[in-house]
Chain A
Amino acid sequence: MPLGLLKYGLSSEHPAPRFFRDCTEPKKSYDAVIIGGGGHGLAAAYYLAKDYGITNVAVLEKGYIGGGNTGRNTTIVRSNYLTPEGVNFYDASVKIYEDLSEELDLNLFYSTRGHFTLAHTESAMRTMRWRAEVNKHVGVESYVVGPEEISKACPQLDISCSGQAPILGALYHAPGSVARHDAVAWGYAKEADRMGVEIFQMTEVTGIDTKGGKVVGVNTSKGYISTNRVLSAVAGFTPRITEMVDLQTPIVIHPLQACVSEPMKPWLDTILVSGSLHVYVSQSSRGELVMGSSLDPYEFHSTRSSLDFVEGLTTHITDMFPFLSNVKVVRQWGGMADITPDFAPIMGKTPLEGFYLDAGWGTWGFKATPISGKTMAETIAKDMAPDLIKSFRLSRFEDYELTGEKGAASVGH
């Protein structure tokens, strides 16, 4: 580091720029209150201000912004889903992501890598063909490739997977990308704050006040705030919020774990996913392999890590890349995933007037951050959900109109 930089670091005349104001005391009332200062909540605040001029908004975060699932995912952005509704929705998200660094004036390290979903069985190949056809129909660049093309893109991959599960082909998805996840939260926070949104960290919502089937306010650890519009964007904490307003949902919480290896020279420039081996892996701009696996097998409200997870994951990753057996895992962590029966989110209005839900983001939330913020902002501003998220409404379960996306979940759950 040049010594010249040090003098700025030690000088009070050149303080590090803050991304957003340090709000401590909430006002008595707001036009809208957003519970959850992750990517989704902050994006909703940003689009409320930008698209609809609603700036008298408070974002309440019980920890620190981006400290929940926004900072715990494996940062993959893709739109190669199974249903046309899902593909359209995630494609809209990818399109916003592509120009988001410029829009937020912050480098999100958005990096388009191409994304291979490996198939080791005939039935998996069938799902890949199905997804490829749906994607092409909607105009998303996905197609099925054979082992030769996979080898060409990633020569380090053992196509036979140590003889355990030979790769028959893959679904290739050209727009598949990675991004710096916490920067997405900071970028939205910075721009929302600049337009007047107030962000309160270390502020927990303890209750939601209703009157005659309408929201009238929220109780928080920093006092009562009156408002008639509340958005819940709290990922793994959703059941605790919906319990406050006696709202029934299908959401159950399972931990989802991930880990990173020690940094290496760049060698993996694509994103690889294997449903059968329960692995997804990409190499970060720091050189670490970012690796994730399937959900923990039973309901548990905790972000604890376990040895079982690393053992299972490394067994499979060394089937794919035997030479990684000497590489160390340096960090692991967990998040709480809010899982729905059809592996699609729950977004939009609820039977309680003024209470909006952005939930059920399970293992697919980060990639949807921009579009969920945009569509939830529209839902709040117009009190009507846009067509793009109609098939994700809460009432779909009572109507038996599920949006089956399990076949497009990154790994078999």
Chain B
Amino acid sequence: MKLLECPINGIRPISEFTYGGEYRNMPNPDTCSDSEWAAYVHYRNGAPGLKKEWWYHTPSGTWFIAERNTMTDKVNRTYLLGQEEAK
């Protein structure tokens, strides 16, 4: 992967981006158990596959979602969080 498409700025060199890890849903801290919370804090889905990830376009300060296959490094699509349908 040498290029990545920022939903705001279009296709830019990969050196302009920072990886933010896999998108994860936070359990409700008021209702979840201690071990559910510890799992949310520490555990990750490390197996390869198509993943929804946070990426950051550093020069413009844009956080967005990329759907990327971590085995092939192919990006299916990128979008701003919550604007998945509009794309």
Contacts and interface: CB of A to CB of B under 8 A. Distances in A.
Contacts of A252: 21, 44, 46
- Interface size class, chain B: 20 to 34
Contacts of B35: 398
A146 to B, nearest CB: 36
A240 B48 contact: yes
A262 interface: no
- A interface, over-half SS: loop
A403 to B, nearest CB: 13
B26 interface: no
Contact of B39 (A248, A251, A253): A248
B47 interface: yes
A398 B19 contact: no
- Interface size class, chain A: 20 to 34
Contact of B70 (A250, A300, A341, A397): A300
B73 A239 contact: no
Contacts of B51: 299
Interface string A292-312: 000001111110000010000
Nearest to B45: A239
A301 B74 CA distance: 12
A298 B1 CA distance: 11
A193 interface: no
A301 B70 contact: yes
A257 interface: no
Contact of A239 (B15, B18, B21, B47): B47
B42 A301 contact: no
Given A397-B38, A398-B38, A400-B38, A300 B44 contact: no
A88 interface: no
Contacts of B41: 397
A217 B46 CA distance: 24
A35 B51 CA distance: 27
B47 A299 contact: no
B30 to A, nearest CB: 19
B17 to A, nearest CB: 9
B44 A251 contact: yes
Contacts of A341: 42
Interface string A151-162: 000000000000
Interface of A: 238-240, 242-243, 248-253, 297-302, 308, 338, 341, 397-398, 400
30 contacts: A238-B46, A239-B46, A239-B48, A242-B46, A243-B47, A249-B43, A249-B44, A249-B46, A250-B43, A252-B21, A252-B46, A297-B19, A298-B19, A299-B22, A299-B53, A299-B70, A300-B73, A301-B48, A301-B71, A302-B73, A308-B15, A341-B42, A397-B41, A397-B43, A398-B34, A398-B35, A398-B38, A398-B39, A398-B42, A400-B38
The 4 A-B residue pairs whose C-beta atoms are closest, nearest first, are: A239-B46, A298-B19, A397-B42, A301-B48
